[in-house]
């Protein structure tokens, strides 16, 4: 298989390492030529993904910001040809999928939206791992949900990455879910660490602190773009959380132990129910 990767950050770099471990051919493009050179020296890519090589790829993964991904599709649409499947790996889907589908129709290339549900708190090629996607879910947003042959083709093309499951959904459902499972967690973690007490935590913290603050290590530029592309769903989740937090605060302020215990018991039960259905 010949894989093309656009963007050698954490996501693209991990794809490159994953496909090279099973001896596939990997070409890559990155605005930072030093990163591309390093990846070649490390043996993680076989060369630069030039416009001439696009038509030779079986799969092309766009591992860049949504706006940059659309610009890449517009610029290179006439050169993809009919062979490769192009999948973006952006963190939101509604904006990019709608525009990318139009470009695919215009230029005759094959496209699907995608989102690998794996990552680390750090960004950049130096943190990329060959096993980052092992067992992780991959979300696909296709043009035609009834095209089983295409979905099987996508599954086969993504097999070297090691995903544990592939889910098929709509762009809107993806963005609604991701606002809760990912974006809200990044907002909470980033806000939580801003407490003045955080600077004094040494010697007083363990697993709870580490878990809550892990994703405060984020890329501000990328997450700002993703938050605003999905602001309707994210605002909804932030409002729900704020309403819930107010109940805990009010119970404390009113010295209402019965309400506090009920809130905690309700949260514990909800967690048990969700985990048992996972």
Rg of the chain, C-alpha, whole Å: 21
Beta bridge partners of 137: 165
Query: 93 with 158, same domain?
Result: yes
Residue 218's pLDDT band, with cuts at 50, 70 and 90, is confident
Say how many C-beta atoms besides its own lie within 10 A of residue 264's C-beta: 12
Question: Which of residues 136, 169, 202 is at a domain's end?
Answer: 169
Query: 165 with 178, same domain?
Result: no
Instruction: Give the closest residue to 142 by CA, choosing from 166, 165, 107.
Output: 166
Query: 37 with 165, same domain?
Result: yes
Mean predicted lDDT score pLDDT of the chain = 94
Query: 150 with 252, same domain?
Result: no
* CATH number, position 196: 1.10.3660.10
pLDDT digits (tens, 9 = 90+) for 45-104: 999 999 999 999 999 999 999 999 999 999 999 999 999 999 999 999 998 999 999 999
Are 200 and 180 contacting, i.e. CB atoms less than 8 angstroms apart? no
Using CA atoms, how far apart are residues 215 and 189, in angstroms rounded to an integer? 6
Residue 278's pLDDT band, with cuts at 50, 70 and 90, is low
* CATH number, position 46: 3.40.50.720
Give the pLDDT score at 201. Answer: 83
Are 56 and 80 contacting, i.e. CB atoms less than 8 angstroms apart? no
pLDDT digits (tens, 9 = 90+) for 164-175: 999 999 999 999
Using CA atoms, how far apart are residues 219 and 223, in angstroms rounded to an integer? 6
Query: 56 with 136, same domain?
Result: yes
**pLDDT higher than threshold 90 for residue 203:** no
Residue 22's pLDDT band, with cuts at 50, 70 and 90, is very high
- End-to-end CA, the chain: 34
Query: 114 with 140, same domain?
Result: yes
Query: 193 with 106, same domain?
Result: no
Handedness of CA 148, 178, 164, 9 (dihedral sign): positive
Question: Which of residues 169, 189, 221 is at a domain's end?
Answer: 169
Domain count, the chain: 2
Query: 50 with 178, same domain?
Result: no
Using CA atoms, how far apart are residues 17 and 130, in angstroms rounded to an integer? 5
Using CA atoms, how far apart are residues 202 and 1, in angstroms rounded to an integer? 49
Query: Quick one: which H or E segment has residue 167?
Result: strand 165-168
Question: Which of residues 118, 148, 169 is at a domain's end?
Answer: 169
Which residues, including other chains, have CB under 8 Å from residue 66's CB and lie 6 or more apart?
88, 90, 91, 92, 95, 96, 225, 226, 229
Domain that holds residue 209: 174-276
Query: 21 with 157, same domain?
Result: yes
**pLDDT higher than threshold 90 for residue 217:** no
């Amino acid at each position: 298989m010949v894989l093309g990767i656009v963007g050698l950050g954490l996501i693209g770099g991990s794809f490159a390492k994953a496909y090279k471990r099973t001896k596939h051919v990997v070409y890559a493009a990155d605005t930072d030529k030093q990163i591309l050179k390093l990846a070649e020296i490390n043996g993680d890519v076989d060369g630069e993904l030039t416009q001439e090589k696009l038509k030779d790829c079986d799969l092309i993964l766009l591992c860049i910001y949504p706006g940059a991904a659309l610009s890449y599709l517009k610029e290179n649409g006439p050169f993809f040809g009919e062979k490769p499947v192009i999948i973006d790996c952006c963190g939101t889907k509604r904006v990019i999928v709608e525009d990318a589908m139009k470009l695919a129709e215009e230029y005759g290339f094959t496209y699907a939206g995608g989102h690998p549900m794996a990552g680390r708190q750090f960004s950049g090629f130096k943190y990329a791992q060959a096993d980052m996607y092992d067992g992780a879910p991959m979300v696909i947003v296709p043009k035609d949900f009834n095209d089983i042959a295409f979905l099987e083709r996508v599954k086969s093309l993504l097999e070297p990455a090691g995903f544990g499951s592939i889910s098929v959904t709509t762009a809107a459902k993806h963005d609604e879910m991701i606002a809760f499972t990912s974006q809200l967690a990044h907002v909470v973690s980033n806000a939580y660490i801003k407490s003045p007490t955080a600077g004094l935590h040494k010697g007083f913290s363990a697993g709870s602190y580490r878990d809550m603050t892990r994703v405060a290590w984020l890329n501000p530029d990328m997450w700002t773009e993703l938050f605003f592309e999905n602001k309707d769903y994210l605002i909804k989740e932030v409002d729900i959380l704020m309403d819930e937090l107010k109940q805990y605060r009010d119970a404390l302020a009113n010295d209402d132990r019965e309400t506090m215990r009920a809130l905690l018991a309700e949260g514990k039960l909800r967690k048990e129910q969700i985990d048992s259905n996972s």
